[in-house]
Amino acid sequence: MRKRLTRRLLPAAALVALMGLADALWIEPRLLLFRDVVRIGLAAPRLRIAHLSDLHIRGDMPLLHRLLDEVAAARPDLIVISGDLIHDVPDPEGARNAAAVAAFVSALRRIAPVYAVQGHSEHQGELVDRLDRAGLQWLSNEGRRIGPDGSILLLGLNTQVGDDWLGWAWKPPFEPLKIKGTRLYGARRGQPYRNFFSHFDPSSAGLADAGGPLSWSGYEVTCDAWIDNEDAGVGLTVHSRYVLGDDRLIQFHRDGSRWDQTGAFSLVAGGSGFDGPHDRMSSGVRPQPGRWYRLKVCTEVLPDRLRVLAKAWPVDGPEPLAWQAHGENHSPRRPLAGTVGLWASGGGTVVYRNLKVVSNDGRLLLNEPLVLPPGAEKPAGFRVGARGTRLAMALARSPRVPPGTPVVVLSHVPDVAREAAWRGIDAVIAGHTHGGQVRIPFVGPLTTRSALGAYYDRGRFDFPAPNARGLTTLYVNSGVGMSVLPVRFWCPPRWAVLEVGD
């Protein structure tokens, strides 16, 4: 009897499993598309916003054409995208994906103005520039007035810069490290790849102050660097205002990630890309563990471009006569001024010494040996990370608005909701969770990768807040694309129409 029952149940179980696989691999990711309609009552004229998130575009996806048609039919006043537009992979597939994203943004721009924030996928300056040229307006920890007569303040938070209050954050790795008895400044890493910066930023004038070293424009930097293994990321940052929440900067670095094709010191642009052939960006010098290397970077600000020259060589050898790496940036987004910084990424240890900055007219701007006396955790005037949380920086870098103006936050991750509620922000629009992407019926998502927890997986939530409404509304969009695995189960693609205002 038991054997007969088993023989009958096995085909049924196999059929259910097959149907589940068909749903996860084909039906939900490729055929289904749902729309949420969310009403957020604010003391402002009505504004109809199309909200897209986590598109993870992989070439010319047929579902995107349907999404464009639906967005156009909704006749929005504004389109906002909360990050992760692209499926992030190195070239040559990455170039195909970038072209598809640019074409999609251009089509959206013909429907309505498009604002977006950078998620985890938009870390390459060339992509950011390309989408800017396609008509997308990036917000990097800053605000814009939107709606009739600028009646709403929209704050955009950039995932590439800064952290959220009570959100997930890696412990900064910069610390004093002893090399052959000398206490030097560096970083010890044992975590996955992530950018960490320590900038020269002695200012205490406020979150938005761009004076002092942040106004340096056109200079030469030299610094010695040492790594203990080939996986350690090492390099210099110039023309950087990262501490203000702006990710536009220039780096001369190397790392062991899959985006570093050579392992050599190369010029890399964040937030705005270099023009011209990329084979000119590499120095050809691949650092060997346990050996000191000298890095030299020279920037020149011209009326129509930013020119950057760089070279690297072993400290115990002669300096090369010619510059090894050359880059130019003609973009309107090019970083014309900013301070210098040290960078760490990947596993392993990196140590720096003898940092020197000289302006192009010969003035000594900084002479820092990076040797730390007992008790000092970092050199004087250096800052690890940004000056404040993403939301704090965005508020400081926004236009002045009359008291009582409704404020809406556009963020990739929803973790900012706690700080937004504490500050009395009216609404937060976010994505990142994918709604779990794979959900177990009657259980919920397997993971949302959010500090808020699995309960805040998708949809609308309200937090108590000290504002006129008495609450902060959080809307989490479960998105259209897929991350890690190309599957969606019990969680079909979604986009949203937000009815904001009276």
Contact 87/109 with Cβ under 8 angstroms? no
Domain at 427, CATH number: 3.60.21
Same domain for 372 and 328: yes
Same domain for 366 and 245: yes
What value, to the nearest 5°, has the Cα angle with vertex 347 and ends 342 and 352? 30
Same domain for 296 and 374: yes
CA-CA-CA-CA torsion sign (310, 315, 316, 319) = positive
Read off the pLDDT of each residue in 263-268 and give the average, rounded to a whole number: 92
Give residue 421's pLDDT band: very low, low, confident or very high (50, 70, 90).
very high
Q: With a cut of 90, say whether residue 209 has pLDDT above it.
A: yes
CA-CA-CA-CA torsion sign (147, 150, 155, 156) = positive
As beta bridge partners, residue 114 has 79, 136
Read off the pLDDT of each residue in 447-451 and give the average, rounded to a whole number: 91
Instruction: Give 344 or 194, the one with higher predicted confidence.
Output: 344
Same domain for 278 and 222: yes
pLDDT digits (tens, 9 = 90+) for 31-64: 899 999 999 999 999 999 999 999 999 998 899 9
- The whole-angstrom separation of Cα 2 and Cα 114 is 62
Instruction: Report yes or no on 303 lying in a domain.
Output: yes
pLDDT digits (tens, 9 = 90+) for 312-363: 999 999 999 999 999 999 999 999 999 999 999 888 899 999 999 999 999 9
Q: What is the pLDDT of residue 93?
A: 85
- The whole-angstrom separation of Cα 25 and Cα 348 is 38
Same domain for 180 and 300: yes
What secondary structure, in 3-state letters, does 407-447 show?
A: EEEEECCHHHHHHHHHHCCCEEEECCCHHHCEEECCCEECC
Same domain for 187 and 131: no
- The stretches of 146-272 forming alpha helices (DSSP H) are none
Read off the pLDDT of each residue in 157-167 and give the average, rounded to a whole number: 93
Q: What is the pLDDT of residue 183?
A: 96
Give residue 259's pLDDT band: very low, low, confident or very high (50, 70, 90).
low
- The whole-angstrom separation of Cα 235 and Cα 341 is 9
> Domain total for the chain?
2
Give residue 383's pLDDT band: very low, low, confident or very high (50, 70, 90).
very high
Q: With a cut of 70, say whether residue 14 has pLDDT above it.
A: no
Instruction: Report yes or no on 15 lying in a domain.
Output: no
Distances in whole angstroms, Cα of residue 443 to Cα of each of 365, 387, 494: 59, 40, 20
Say which DSSP state 376 is in: -
End-to-end CA distance of the chain: 67
Instruction: Report yes or no on 315 lying in a domain.
Output: yes
Instruction: Report yes or no on 208 lying in a domain.
Output: yes
Q: Where are the beta strands (DSSP E) in 259-376?
A: 266-270, 293-302, 305-314, 325-329, 339-345, 348-359, 364-368
The tokens for 111 are 């429907």
Read off the pLDDT of each residue in 76-95 and give the average, rounded to a whole number: 93
- Assessment of whether the complete model's pTM goes beyond 0.85: yes
Instruction: Report yes or no on 282 lying in a domain.
Output: yes
Same domain for 422 and 277: no
pLDDT digits (tens, 9 = 90+) for 455-467: 999 999 999 999 9
Q: What is the pLDDT of residue 498?
A: 98
- Among the residue ranges 15-19, 129-133, 350-354, the one predicted with the least confidence is 15-19
Per-residue exposure over 432-443, b if at least 16 CB sit within 10 Å of its own CB, e if not:
bbbbbbbbeeee
Contact 270/285 with Cβ under 8 angstroms? no
Q: With a cut of 80, say whether residue 178 has pLDDT above it.
A: yes
Q: What is the pLDDT of residue 22?
A: 74
Contact 41/502 with Cβ under 8 angstroms? yes
Instruction: Report yes or no on 478 lying in a domain.
Output: yes
Read off the pLDDT of each residue in 2-26 and give the average, rounded to a whole number: 65
Tally of CB atoms within 10 A around 15: 10
Q: What is the pLDDT of residue 172?
A: 86
Q: What is the pLDDT of residue 189?
A: 76
Structural domain boundaries enclosing 213 = 174-384
The tokens for 436 are 């779990």
Q: Domain boundary residue among 384, 400, 416?
A: 384
Same domain for 373 and 405: no
- Among the residue ranges 167-176, 197-206, 398-407, the one predicted with the least confidence is 167-176
Q: Domain boundary residue among 353, 384, 415?
A: 384
Q: How much is the CA Rg of the chain, to the nearest whole Å?
A: 24
Domain at 307, CATH number: 2.60.120.560
Distances in whole angstroms, Cα of residue 413 to Cα of each of 119, 409, 451, 487: 8, 11, 9, 21
Q: Domain boundary residue among 318, 350, 384?
A: 384
Tally of CB atoms within 10 A around 119: 26
Same domain for 424 and 331: no
Q: What is the pLDDT of residue 13?
A: 61
Read off the pLDDT of each residue in 246-254 and give the average, rounded to a whole number: 95
Same domain for 238 and 194: yes
Q: What is the pLDDT of residue 275?
A: 87
Contacts of 499 (CB under 8 A, 6+ apart): 37, 38, 39, 40, 46, 47, 48
Q: What is the pLDDT of residue 8?
A: 59
Instruction: Report yes or no on 27 lying in a domain.
Output: no
Instruction: Report yes or no on 25 lying in a domain.
Output: no
What percent of the chain lies above the pLDDT cut of 70?
Answer: 94
Place of tokens 């007969």: 4
Q: With a cut of 90, say whether residue 256 has pLDDT above it.
A: no
Q: With a cut of 90, say whether residue 230 has pLDDT above it.
A: no
Same domain for 358 and 413: no
Same domain for 345 and 418: no
Three-state secondary-structure class, residue 457: coil
